[in-house]
Structure 1
Amino acid sequence: MNAFWSALTFLTRIPVRFQATEQDWYHSVKHYPYVGMVIGIFLAGIAGITQWLFPDVLHSLAVVAFWVYITGGLHLDGWMDTADGLGSARSRERMLEIMKDSRVGAMGVLACFLLLAVKVVSLYWITTNLPLLSVSYVLIIIPFAARVSLLGCIYFWPYVHKGKGMASGFREHLHMKHIIISIVISSLVAFLLVGYQLAIIFFVLTTVTHYLFNRMIVKQLGGLTGDTYGAQIECIEMVLLLGAVSYLHHGGLIGW
């Protein structure tokens, strides 16, 4: 259980009075997907409150704002740093230096704006076309799926600084069984909550986005970094929201 609390304190701003050891941090990696589900449950709760308080546009904006807040902007920071690095079109070494810079450049700001705009508009469209319960189900699944994919980043793809940093420790404590279990659980939850059609769409979109995004990063940088881990989470969440919008736009139904 210590490993789960470590994952919760690392990936969210949820207040947990807990002092983690180094081993707790390393073992926490297998709990990342379930922290994603916790984030989704909080988002569903906020969606219920804000839909009662505000009109649809402000409701969607409030949910996305809380989405950023509950993660402490951790993944969004990675998204902006990755955009700054890749957008510079410099040498591999220079791109990595830019990504380490604490200052945010023009590409990072633009990428942040576009990402949040897509999330707000997509959620607004979903909110206006679905009852609150169905919206809540979608919000629970998306962070869950994105963090299942994070395990794949750590396990299957090379880290740019081989043998260095926390990523190496995470990789040593992550096994294939953890990935399989998280995929099975997230798939079952998705099937139960949103029905088999949207669950399959989410699975395919997550898998394809995971592969294409990380393949691009490895080609550009030679491996993944902590920033690209966060960027991939943000990218998959955005793609899944767009996938839900497209599915509903073409007459798809949520549930059974």
Structure 2
Amino acid sequence: MFTEKPAAGRPREPTDPAALSVLTAEGASHDADLRVLGLRRHGYRAERVGTGAEALQRCGKVDLLLVDLDLPDLDGVELCRGIRAASDVAVIVVTARDTELDRVLSLRAGADDYVVKPCSLAELMARIEAVMRRVRLQPSLPDDVITVGSLRIDHRTREIRLDDRRIEVTRKEFDLLHLLASRPGSVFSRREIMTQVWSDPRAKPGRTIDTHISSLRAKLGCSRWITTVRGVGFRFGMS
């Protein structure tokens, strides 16, 4: 059960646009709603979503995510991995699971901290503040641009250029290429691609991914930009 203890000091105004935005990814529960209300009372702009897919769609628009490991559509560890592939947003796992394996897997998947329920609101806010101090010390890139050799992918303008020539792609083709290029050399599974690009980890990819990969290879003029790892998924990077 989630418990709240009074925090010292005057609560900040929740409507303050400079307030920290926190998104809780947790199935419908009284404790999750209490956690959101408690954070709001202490000045955070807090909201809750009930699925991992919703969290993935919104992870780039908040300052911090609180992730439960037991979500209705995908495991929280997989969600952490997906969030980290798409964004540098701060992530704290807040869960009833209290095993070393869950902690290790979550932290390796990209979580910044791990909190076991029940926990007090005071402890949770202290952990949020500690994580945000670390995150804000890390330098951020001036532009969301990925450059690999002669290929330039600008997420801000959603433009792809190869040898300074603009490559026309569809929305899904851009999202797919940007995902693969975000971690050159890493292999993305088909399920991870469906989660990140199509926001549906339960969907069967069928020929959808293959069709988009084939189109991207044709437009880039070389199949070596995207490598198929048989039985696993796809990897970006000239071989």
TM-score by length of 1: 0.30
Larger relative contact order (CA 8 Å, sep ≥ 6): 1
Q: Whose strand fraction is larger, Structure 1's or Structure 2's?
A: 2
Quick check: which has more Rg, 1 or 2? Answer: 2
Q: Whose helix fraction is larger, Structure 1's or Structure 2's?
A: 1
TM-score by length of 2: 0.31
